[in-house]
């Protein structure tokens, strides 16, 4: 693939977790902006919610609300780690269309710090969120988790995943796919309402670390290799190509819009870009999760 991306917006404060909003706009979280923002097709950026901490991933809700995986206020830099001015233990947040932010799902299982990274809805409306655990201490990193939240906001179940579970999305085969950054692998789980089957390895990236990813409607998988500055493309489990994004871009996550474009967040350059590839959009599951006390 030789096509160069189109810059949709720049000046974003370490963008992550894009979600297609259905009206031509894309929601992105701005990790260092402590917010979730709307990017319109003309590049206009509007803050949707002031989240605090470190918003790390987003998912569109059934009523137009946006759910945010907030890692509590941590981002990596070339010289170390950035900590948010308003740092707290990580949680899942619900951002209403009027900007109101509430906590969803309460305190996540396992010992702190909790570092929610990415999230997605399943076909039955269950919300699945990855918790990457204490990745600021890679030498002593603890097992992370995938946590399932029911529509009433209760925790339905969870499973431990070592080596930094990161991006998460449902595939066209109905399985839950999760990137395991420190092994360079993508795993798949059979899931039913918070019950998790045994993980199966789907692929291992040729280079870099898998971050966020998405599927198009034809089942092609696009994996952001953030450290390696590339997007790795898989079809039928086979590696088809790697799209080089350029030194220092750090592609963090991606989504396919209804317009057929692949939208990708570049963390280090602060951009939302689009590859206008004429893709078939995939199914985007939504749901509605009640807010509960943290």
pLDDT, position 292: 55
Q: Looking at the predicted structure, is the pLDDT value of residue 64 above 70?
A: yes
pLDDT, position 22: 85
> In the sheet where 101-104 sits, what is the strand order?
55-60, 66-70, 91-95, 101-104
User: How many other CB atoms are there within 10 angstroms of residue 29's CB atom?
Assistant: 34
Q: Dig out the tokens for 119 from the structure.
A: 């999230």
| DSSP-assigned states of every residue in 189-258 | E-EETTEE---EEEEE-SSS-EEEEEE-TT--EEEEETTTTEEEEEETTEEEEEEE--TT--EEEEEE-T
pLDDT, position 164: 98
pLDDT, position 294: 40
Cβ–Cβ < 8 Å for 164, 132: yes
**pLDDT more than 90, % of the chain:** 91
pLDDT, position 2: 53
pLDDT tens digits, residue range 238-261? 999 999 999 999 999 999 999 999
Q: Looking at the predicted structure, is the pLDDT value of residue 16 above 60?
A: yes
Mean pLDDT of 264-284: 96
- DSSP 8-state code for residue 4: P
Q: Looking at the predicted structure, is the pLDDT value of residue 78 above 70?
A: no
233 or 22, higher pLDDT: 233
Average pLDDT, the chain: 95
- State the number of CA atoms in the 13 A half-sphere of 42 facing the CB: 2
Mean pLDDT of 130-149: 96
Rounded Cα distance, 202 and 236, in Å: 10
């Amino acid at each position: 693939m030789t096509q160069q991306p189109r810059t949709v917006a720049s000046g974003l404060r370490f963008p992550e977790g894009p979600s297609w909003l259905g009206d031509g706009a894309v929601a992105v979280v701005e990790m260092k902006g402590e917010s979730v923002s709307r990017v319109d097709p003309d590049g206009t950026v509007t803050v949707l919610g002031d989240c605090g901490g470190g918003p790390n991933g987003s998912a569109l809700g059934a009523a137009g609300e946006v759910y945010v995986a907030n890692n509590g206020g941590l981002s990596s830099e070339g010289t170390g780690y950035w900590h948010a001015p308003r740092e707290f233990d990580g949680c899942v947040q619900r951002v209403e269309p009027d900007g109101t932010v509430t906590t969803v799902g309460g305190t996540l299982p396992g010992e702190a710090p909790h570092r929610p990274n990415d999230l997605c809805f399943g076909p039955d409306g269950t919300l699945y969120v990855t918790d990457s655990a204490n990745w600021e201490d890679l030498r002593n990193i603890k097992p992370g988790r995938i946590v399932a939240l029911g529509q009433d906001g209760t925790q339905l179940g969870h499973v431990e995943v070592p080596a930094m579970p990161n991006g998460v999305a449902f595939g066209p085969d109905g399985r839950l796919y999760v990137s395991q950054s420190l092994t360079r692998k993508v795993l798949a789980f059979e899931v039913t309402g918070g019950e998790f089957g045994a993980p199966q390895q789907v692929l291992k990236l040729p280079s870099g670390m898998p971050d966020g990813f998405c599927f198009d409607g034809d089942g092609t998988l696009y994996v952001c290799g953030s450290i390696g500055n590339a997007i790795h493309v898989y079809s039928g489990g086979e590696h088809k190509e790697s799209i080089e994004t350029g030194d220092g871009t750090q592609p963090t996550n991606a989504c396919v819009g209804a317009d057929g474009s692949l939208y990708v967040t570049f963390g280090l350059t602060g951009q939302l870009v689009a590859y206008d590839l004429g893709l078939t959009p995939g199914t985007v599951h939504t749901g509605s999760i009640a807010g509960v006390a943290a």
